[in-house]
Amino acid sequence: MSAERRVRLFRNGRNQAVRIPRGFELPGKNAVIRKEGEKLILEAVTPKPLLEVLASLAPLDDEFPEMADSSPRPVEL
């Protein structure tokens, strides 16, 4: 596989688009695009594991009010 390939640009509604050849396909359904000078850089987005997301959250410092822990009312079925 070559690291470079010429592709065609086309319009998709009001957006400019490019078809990504099979050898250059990205995994997943999301990507990040950014512009550096005249270059467009397209990178796959890999989802973070849930534990990593939870570890990155700041702890809650809020004070929560005391609540009575009452039993649920009986229900006849």
Token reading at 43: 């990178």
Please, what's the largest Cα pairwise distance for the chain?
71
Its pTM stands at 0.53
Helix (H) or strand (E) holding 32: strand 31-36
* Residue 2: pLDDT band with limits 50, 70, 90: low
- pLDDT tens for residues 7-55? 999 999 999 999 999 999 999 889 999 999 999 999 999 888 999 999 9
Domain boundaries, the chain: 9-48
